[in-house]
Chains A and B, each alone.
Chain A
Amino acid sequence: DIQMTQSPSSLSASVGDRVTITCQASQDISNYLNWYQQKPGKAPKLLIYDASNLETGVPSRFSGSGSGTDFTFTISSLQPEDIATYYCQQYDNLRVLTFGGGTKVEIK
């Protein structure tokens, strides 16, 4: 089974800061990596698919990069509405999904 290690588990940053979250796969997953945002009491929302593609309607301050085993998710300028938990998720050739442990983003 592919394991996803996401870090940090939480972070605190100021409005306007650049925020970076990483996700490492236990084996090569090419670009089969997605990123979600989850606000309290809500279902997750897809932000980035296939490592670097911005989902329609998602602000351009969100971006993703990486391939193989190492991936990065970035918020270029943190906004108050970005307070949430972010998850990476990989998929394999059977469409089995595995999520990272999540990163809780707070405002300093």
Chain B
Amino acid sequence: QVQLQESGPGLVKPSQTLSLTCTVSGGSISSGGYYWSWIRQHPGKGLEWIGYIYYSGSTYYNPSLKSRVTISVDTSKNQFSLKLSSVTAADTAVYYCAREDTAIDYWGQGTLVTVSS
């Protein structure tokens, strides 16, 4: 059973960089076949796909966030990470990491990140 767990600060100041890490257990990122994604959900709102990374390091980002997003992978630790720069209050959301193929079959529990001074 694959499990994903997000970790990182729950509070980030405006203009700073949001950094989250997802630790995967029960399966290996480097085995291939899946994309490892970040998705967010603004409070009381719908789901927004942020982007994904493949074990090889190839990435694809949501065009609306592309200029501020970096997703990286550390296969030795079976982790992947999200960095979102120049955050504002509009980036306050629950951030989920997930395993993606053509559907998302495994999700982390989500972590609330609040952008506030």
**Which A residues are within 8 Å of any B CB, using their own CB?**
1, 32, 34, 36, 42-46, 49-50, 55, 87, 89, 91, 94-102
- With contacts A95-B35, A99-B48 known, is A46 near B104, CB below 8 A? yes
A102 proximity list for chain B (CB < 8 A): 46-47
Within 8 A of A (CB), among B40-62: 46-49, 52, 60, 62
The reply to whether B48 and A1 contact each other, CB–CB distance below 8 Å, is no
How far, in angstroms, from A105 to B94 measured CA to CA in the complex?
A: 21
B-side interface residues, number (CB < 8 Å): 23
Taking the complex as formed, is B100 at the interface, i.e. its CB lies under 8 A from any CB of chain A? yes
How far, in angstroms, from A102 to B110 measured CA to CA in the complex?
A: 18
- With contacts A50-B102, A95-B35 known, is A87 near B46, CB below 8 A? yes
- With contacts A1-B63, A43-B109 known, is A99 near B104, CB below 8 A? no
The reply to whether A95 and B107 contact each other, CB–CB distance below 8 Å, is no
The reply to whether B60 and A97 contact each other, CB–CB distance below 8 Å, is no
B35 proximity list for chain A (CB < 8 A): 95
The reply to whether A87 and B47 contact each other, CB–CB distance below 8 Å, is yes
How far, in angstroms, from A97 to B96 measured CA to CA in the complex?
A: 14
The reply to whether B109 and A95 contact each other, CB–CB distance below 8 Å, is no
B107 proximity list for chain A (CB < 8 A): 43-45
